[in-house]
Amino acid sequence: MLAAEYGSSVAQLLHRHGYGPGHSVSARAVSEGVWQKCPSCDYVGAPASIANHAKKAHPAAIGEQAQGAER
């Protein structure tokens, strides 16, 4: 379907469904609770993606959280 209807372009699919610079599909996913925002930055994604992102981008914050949980 993507190839036939939208020229194999996810960007075209999103545009035709009303998403674009003024209407973010990511913001909608967060507002509907499907995705989450990283507590340390503006990264958004599924819960598993947030966990992987945090390990790579914020390892010090992860270590501090683990130490706080041990106390």
Over residues 29-62, the pLDDT tens digits come to: 999 999 999 999 999 999 999 999 999 999 887 6
Question: Is the model's pTM score more than 0.85?
Answer: no
Residue 64 has pLDDT above 70, yes or no: no
Residue 1 CA to residue 10 CA, distance in Å, equals 11
The residue with greater pLDDT, 2 or 23, is: 23
54: nearest Cα among 63, 32, 28: 63
The chain-wide mean pLDDT, for the chain, equals 87
DSSP 58: -
Spatial contact of 63 and 52, defined as CB atoms under 8 Å apart: no
For the chain, first and last CA: distance in Å?
53
Residue 63 has pLDDT above 60, yes or no: no
